[in-house]
């Protein structure tokens, strides 16, 4: 059953909004200038998927809870599917060149047959997974 969701907005707290914007621009992402100010910026993933990078103070005003210490814990893995193994490497290598930490882990043999992925933690410690899935290997 489809629920009728039109867009997804993922909200992530960031320590330094300017540095976060520069980081994601260096990876090739764009921002929606209509939703960008000194408290947050709308990172465009696709036409209907956005990541709202929000200053920690602004983010906290929505939750009234403590922000996860990403050096000790993961709050979420944001996974992006791309069109090829080369695209995985290109995006993750750019992230690492711009200050991200490589967090790739080993897949099982079964997983490796159908999926290629790498992970990185961005400047604020948020975990991103970039993957390519070989759909023809899914039935094997």
Radius of gyration of the chain (CA): 16
Q: What are the tens digits of pLDDT across the range 51-103?
A: 999 999 999 999 888 999 999 998 899 999 999 999 999 999 999 999 999 99
Q: What are the tens digits of pLDDT across the range 96-127?
A: 999 999 998 876 666 677 889 999 999 999 99
The CA distance from 93 to 27, in Å, is 9
Q: Which residue has better confidence, 4 or 59?
A: 59
66 contacts 25 by C-beta, under 8 angstroms: no
Strands 8-14 and 49-55: parallel
pTM: predicted TM-score of the whole model, two decimal places: 0.88
């Amino acid at each position: 059953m489809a629920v009728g969701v039109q867009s997804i907005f993922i909200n992530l707290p960031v320590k330094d909004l300017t540095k976060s914007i520069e980081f994601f621009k260096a990876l090739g992402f764009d921002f929606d200038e209509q939703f960008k100010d000194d408290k947050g910026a709308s990172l465009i993933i696709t036409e209907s998927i956005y990541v709202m990078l929000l200053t920690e103070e602004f983010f906290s005003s929505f939750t009234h809870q403590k922000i996860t210490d990403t050096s000790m814990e993961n709050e979420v893995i944001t996974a992006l599917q791309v069109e090829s193994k080369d695209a995985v490497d290109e995006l993750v290598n750019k992230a690492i060149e711009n200050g991200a930490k490589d967090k790739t882990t080993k897949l099982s043999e079964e997983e490796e047959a159908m999926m290629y992925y790498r992970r990185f933690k961005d400047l604020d410690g948020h975990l991103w997974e970039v993957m390519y899935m070989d759909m023809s290997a899914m039935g094997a």
